[in-house]
Amino acid sequence: MAKFESEEVLAVKEGLERLPGHDELERALKTLLRELGEEPDREGLLRTPRRVAQSLRFLTSGYRQDVDQVLNGALFSVGYDEMVIVKDIEVFSLCEHHLLPFFGRCHVAYIPTEKVIGLSKIPRLVDVFARRLQVQERLTTQIANTIMDKINPQGVGVVIEARHLCMIMRGVEKQNSVAVTSAMLGVFRDHTQTREEFLSLVRGRS
């Protein structure tokens, strides 16, 4: 009993308080460690289930976020009808097929009709969908469709370039492979010149 209490104290000091709903996840992680041939009660793994539970809750926090609350009213009426681009947004997500990370950069552009989104909200919107179990293709379209739905712009373009650990660490083991996905809506799909302007600005990043 004393050992258990001391481990609890150490866990709290380490910022590993047990959050609601973590117990079942921790038990599952202990089972996973045993199935992998490990002993979850050895010193190095004693708090690993709790650490991993906290980590997974954070990495999938997008499930518990509401897009409207994230945007928090940061939609502004502005007389501006030129392209708005936020590029090189860092993206970290988990592949739903292997639960391994994929990471890279996201580039978002839109041409307003009547409203614009506060610039700091676009990376937050990307995180809402990235912090879930994902495939890159769906992540790309979710970002584009949400912006289209919220401000009804003339068009939206989203490009994601990412490296997938399920390809780098296992499988084909190609360390330099990069997956590129795009979603083009409205004028970005219909007008070649608009689409090429966006892509050229993305390619021209430092």
The active-site residue out of 95, 106, 107, 134 is: 95
84-95/101-111 β-pairing: antiparallel
Cα distances (angstroms) measured from residue 40 to each of 31, 93, 173? 8, 27, 29
**Annotation says 164 is catalytic:** yes
Provide the residue type at 20 as one letter: P
Q: Catalytic residue among 7, 65, 98, 114, which?
A: 98
Catalytic residue (choose from 14, 17, 39, 97): 97
Catalytic residue, from 164, 191, 196, 197: name it.
Answer: 164
106 a catalytic residue:
no
Distance CA(39)–CA(25), nearest Å, equals: 17
Is 97 tagged catalytic?
yes
3-state class percentages of the chain: helix first, strand second, coil last, to nearest 5: 45, 25, 30
Contact, 30 vs 49, CB < 8 A?
yes
From 17, 39, 90, 96, active-site residue: 96
Residue in the structure block whose two tokens are 């973590």:
22
Active-site annotation holder among 134, 136, 142, 154: 136
22 as an active site residue: the answer is: no
The yes-or-no answer on residue 136 being catalytic is: yes
Question: In Å, what is the CA distance from 66 to each residue of 57, 62, 86, 199?
Answer: 16, 8, 21, 30
* Tokens matching residue 137: 């293709």
Cβ proximity of 121 and 74 under 8 Å? yes
Answer left, alpha or beta for residue 37, where phi above 0 means left and psi between -120 and 50 means alpha: left
**Catalytic residues, which ones?**
95-98, 136, 164, 166
